[in-house]
Amino acid sequence: MKWAGLLLLLSLVGDSNPELYAKFFEDAQKAKSKGDMAGMEQNLILAHQHGPGTEYTWRSLSWAQMNQGKWRIALGNAKENIKRNGETTWSLKQLFYVASSIGDLELARYSVKRESGLPKAKRNSTMSEEALTLAKLTMPTVLEIDYRIVVEHFENQDGKLYIQAPCADHLWQKAATTVSGAKSWKLYKDGRWDVLEIDPGEAKEIIIHSTITHTPKPIGWKALEKAKSTTIPNSLKAYTGKFINGTAYDPADPFLEDLVPSLKGKSIAETVQNILDWLAKNMRYEFGHSDSLEAMLKSHRGVCHHYSNLMVAMCRAAGIPALVAHGDAMPSDGSFKDTAPSHGWVEVYIPEFGWTPVDPLNPNTLRCFHAPGYVIVDTSSHWPEDNHFYMKMKNGKHLQSIQGAPASGYAKQISK
């Protein structure tokens, strides 16, 4: 059903029935508490068929649809909310959320500016967080991070530690890294890896300090929908085959052969978005599941590395180059202490945009990747045996990742 048609359906309230309205609204709240966005959406639609709804229910409907990647419907219902219930801080907040999730920075700016001009009676909340989000989408973020390295937790190889530092120059990230508390250290490149070779001496702990600048580069839905390429360069076809990320994966697996063809779009960009949408609709974030393709496609459960491995396998099965990205999802504003937010996501190759980050946990990230807190440490699966969980350097030494080490520091936005 077209989104305009769905809006028309929602605007046609049937026989008013307060009891049914209350029941479906209660069921929507229960679905929300479980993270069931589809159930929340369905019950709010049913509630609106038995009553006109409120500013809150219309905003909630838009929010549930936005979190499923149904951005056209979500945007339409955010506007419908304003039409029915007027402009307030809350209604403009939801308009902002949809706009920022799809990289429509013009509409996002409009929402913030419009709210600042509302009369006091209509400003029933604050949009300070939204203004900060807008800054993160338009201005660089600098993170000052101290990684606390407990020497005995890392492998000592002939008196040295070999630790993979945050990527010095990759996509949106530039990083400068130093070491304190060690007898000696040096930073050098080994292929794609940024390697810290550290002689800890007698130290039990050392500090690796990184100054990381993230410059946001959201694609936006308008540019994405203009992307029409259907072929990739021959030089990148090596990124469409088998790979290892802890577990071995084969894009030609029979479990993918039945699934992936139905997700192919008219362009590479559309296929990637279809895969993100499928993950949002069919997968649930949950610990304690097997890493195998068969298990993931049967249980429809997993955490970030399950999502990432599955998405890379699905993209490669569709002939799209894809890599697993490794790093940390750091706080993107203010200070933090001894956090270790290890995270994994995906990079896909789209001819119009080159290598492009997406988070398979969020179907909106192709349109707008919120980069500020994503510290990139590695991308793996560049060749069939390229396994992030056992990296062997040219000198034969084992390289260990800084990912997940306790980190303290702060993040702030800076002017361009």
Angle at the Cα of 16 (from 14 to 21), degrees rounded to 5? 100
Model confidence at 40, pLDDT cuts 50, 70, 90, reads very high
Q: Are 311 and 274 in contact (CB under 8 A)?
A: no
pLDDT value at position 68? 94
Q: How confident is the model at residue 4 (pLDDT cuts 50, 70, 90)?
A: very low
Are 168 and 230 spatial neighbours (Cβ–Cβ below 8 Å)?
no
Closest CA to 268 of 376, 358, 166: 358
Share of residues in the chain with pLDDT > 90 (%): 93
Structure tokens at 239: 């990124």
Per-residue pLDDT, averaged over 56-62, amounts to 97
Confidence of residue 5 (pLDDT cuts 50, 70, 90): very low
Query: What HEC string does 187-231 produce?
Result: EEEECCEEEEEEECCCCCEEEEEEEEEECCCCCCHHHHHHCCCCC
pLDDT recorded at residue 340: 84
Of 71, 78, 35, the closest CA to residue 55 belongs to 78
- In tens, the pLDDT along 120-143 reads 999 999 999 999 999 999 999 999
Percent of the chain with pLDDT over 70: 96
Cα 174 to Cα 142, 188, 194, 319, distances in angstroms: 10, 15, 12, 30
252 vs 73: CA distance, rounded Å: 35
Query: Token pair for residue 302?
Result: 């997993």
Q: In whole angstroms, what is the distance from residue 229 CA to residue 387 CA?
A: 30
Averaged pLDDT score across all residues of the chain: 94
For residue 416, what pLDDT is reported?
59
| Interval 149-167 mean pLDDT | 97
Tell me the HSE value of 81 on the side-chain side, using a 13 A CA sphere: 27
Closest C-alpha to 140, from 50, 233, 213, 73? 213
Res 415 pLDDT > 80: no
pLDDT in tens, 316-372: 999 999 999 999 999 999 999 999 889 999 999 999 999 999 999 999 999 999 888
Q: Give mean pLDDT, residues 32-52.
A: 95
The one-letter code for the residue type at 399 is L
- Tell me how far apart the alpha carbons of residues 24 and 13 are, in angstroms, rounded to a whole number: 14
Amino acid code (one letter) for 200? P
Residue 8 has pLDDT above 60, yes or no: no
